[in-house]
Amino acid sequence: MHNSLYPEPEPNGVLGVGILGAGPVTQAIHLPSLARLRDLFEVRHIMDVDPAVAESVASRVGARFSTSMDELLADPEVDVVAICSPHQFHAAQVTAACRAGKKAVLCEKPFAMNGEEAARISAVSAETGVPIIVGAMHTFDPGWLAAEAAWGNLPEQVHTIRSSIVLPPNPRFEDFATEIVGRPEASAPEASTPNHVEPAAAKAMLRGGVMGLAIHDLPLVRRFVPDFQSVEVLHAEVLQPFGYVISLRTATRTIELRAAMNSTWKPEWTFQAIGDEAQLTVSFTPSYVHSGSATAQIARAGSAIQLGPYGHNGYEGEWRKLAELARGKGEAPPARTLIDDLEFALSIADGAATRYESPTHTRQEVSA
């Protein structure tokens, strides 16, 4: 039985990985990332409630499969656990993985459904000494990390933050739109009225957009918003076929979130933090391909430095970090950070959905 008290490397130097949930994220994101990290990891056990999925995905990587979480957690060959099941199972599975004495846990976002649940998980992590990483991949992107090391006094002077996302067609569109509220029917656009969206569908799109898409950048946003707890949603609008325009404010910061999914071939994922004298621009690579890190630019009147691109992206970055933590090196993200990130995202998702009821929206003008 492995125990987090004994974090020395495996005899052959690689860590055994067990994965709970073998859906698209496991298949399209984590297995390809792990395939690039064979010196650090070996996938040994895949569990999914659907036995056919578990078996077929496990066979691709030569791993054992099961349909029971307990079976995977009891597998002595599994050192670290990745939780890639639907979000409502995350809390229980993270807790169980910590209690099973694994060396480290990677939990896909969101790692809980509310702040109290997040706090309970963090308490179990502290009690068992098992570090937890949440899959906020952009925070592990080498381009972002290089910017963070170079930005100096930028966070104090920033007054405006922008996150702009344009995504090409993506079969995962429905997951983004509906994973939180579980209303698959709500995301289907009506072809005859291109800019008319039923209010319930619009609210679902806003929640899904924030918790599925904006959530990747909200931890970055929060780095520049010391008074994040006072965030207020001023405006929220949806785009067709999927996307959002959300305006936020705190006492000291203006925050604008944009996302659009259309049929373009040209993706864009840009994060900007702008102050009186300096501006950070980070351009991330598309999520589902391994096309290296983000590039970051820090501009100050008349000059700019560019950082990156580096050879790996944030998904690989999060696994590298997990390997460090499992070996007792490095610092796990503080529990407070994970809880604050989650609560920040939830308050924006709730606020955007509520704000949508404002009577000034275009949907009333175009639905006539």
Partner 1 sequence: MSTKLTVHADPKAELSGGVSAVVASLPVSYGPAAGAADISALDGEAGWTLRVLAAAQDGARGVVVVNPVAESVEDIAAAAKTAAAVALDQRWSSNPAVEGARHALQGYLDDAALLDSVAIAAPGTQSVELLTQHLALIQDLGVGLETLRLVQHGPTGYVAAGSLANGAPMALQGITTSAVRPRCSVTVLNSTGGLELTVPDPDAAWPAEILVTNPSGSTLLPTLYESAHRSTWTRLKKHLDAGQMPTDLARFGEVASAVHRLTGHRATP
Ligand X SMILES: NC(=O)c1ccc[n+]([C@@H]2O[C@H](COP(=O)([O-])OP(=O)(O)OC[C@H]3O[C@@H](n4cnc5c(N)ncnc54)[C@H](O)[C@@H]3O)[C@@H](O)[C@H]2O)c1
Binds partner 1 (CB under 8 A): choice among 38, 300, 329, 336: 300
The answer to whether residue 341 forms part of the interface with ligand X (CB under 6 A) is no
Residue window 274-313: x/- pattern of binding to ligand X, with contact defined by CB under 6 A:
-------------x--------------------------
Q: Find the shortest distance in angstroms from Cβ 43 to ligand X.
A: 15
Binding residues for partner 1 restricted to 184-223, rule: CB under 8 A: 194-196
Q: Find the shortest distance in angstroms from Cβ 2 to partner 1.
A: 50
Tokens linked to 1: 């039985």
Distance of alpha carbon 236 from alpha carbon 206, whole angstroms: 8
Q: Which does 159 bind (CB under 5 to 8 A by kind): partner 1, ligand X, none?
A: partner 1
Q: Find the shortest distance in angstroms from Cβ 259 to partner 1.
A: 9
Q: Find the shortest distance in angstroms from Cβ 360 to ligand X.
A: 32
According to DSSP, the residues that pair with 132 across neighbouring strands are: 105
The answer to whether residue 89 forms part of the interface with ligand X (CB under 6 A) is yes
The answer to whether residue 260 forms part of the interface with partner 1 (CB under 8 A) is yes
Scanning 35-43, 122-130, 201-209, 239-247 for contacts with partner 1 by CB under 8 A, the matching segment is: 239-247
Tokens linked to 147: 């910017």
Please tell me the number of Cα atoms within 13 Å of 232 on its side-chain side. 8
Q: Which does 108 bind (CB under 5 to 8 A by kind): partner 1, ligand X, none?
A: ligand X
According to DSSP, the residues that pair with 282 across neighbouring strands are: 271, 296
Binds partner 1 (CB under 8 A): choice among 237, 318, 341, 343: 237
Q: Which does 89 bind (CB under 5 to 8 A by kind): partner 1, ligand X, none?
A: ligand X
Binds partner 1 (CB under 8 A): choice among 239, 250, 283, 350: 239
Scanning 21-29, 124-132, 255-263, 325-333 for contacts with partner 1 by CB under 8 A, the matching segment is: 255-263
Residues 259, 209: contact at Cβ < 8 Å?
Answer: yes
Distance of alpha carbon 9 from alpha carbon 352, whole angstroms: 46
Binding residues for partner 1 restricted to 136-195, rule: CB under 8 A: 159-160, 162, 164, 166, 194-195
Residue window 21-60: x/- pattern of binding to ligand X, with contact defined by CB under 6 A:
xxxxx---------------------xxxx--x-------
The answer to whether residue 20 forms part of the interface with ligand X (CB under 6 A) is yes
Scanning 4-12, 20-28, 193-201, 245-253 for contacts with ligand X by CB under 6 A, the matching segment is: 20-28
Q: Find the shortest distance in angstroms from Cβ 239 to partner 1.
A: 5
Distance of alpha carbon 41 from alpha carbon 23, whole angstroms: 20
The Cα angle at residue 111 between residues 105 and 116, in degrees rounded to 5: 115
Binds ligand X (CB under 6 A): choice among 37, 40, 43, 84: 84
- Among the listed residues 336, 282, 291, the one whose alpha carbon sits nearest the alpha carbon of residue 134: 336
Cα torsion angle, 216, 236, 208, 171, sign: negative
Scanning 103-111, 176-184, 241-249, 314-322 for contacts with partner 1 by CB under 8 A, the matching segment is: 241-249
Footprint of partner 1 (CB under 8 A): 159-160, 162, 164, 166, 194-196, 234-235, 237-241, 243, 245, 247, 249, 254, 256, 258, 260, 262-266, 274-279, 299-301, 360, 362-363, 365-366
Footprint of ligand X (CB under 6 A): 20-25, 47-50, 53, 84-87, 89, 108-109, 135, 137, 175, 179, 287
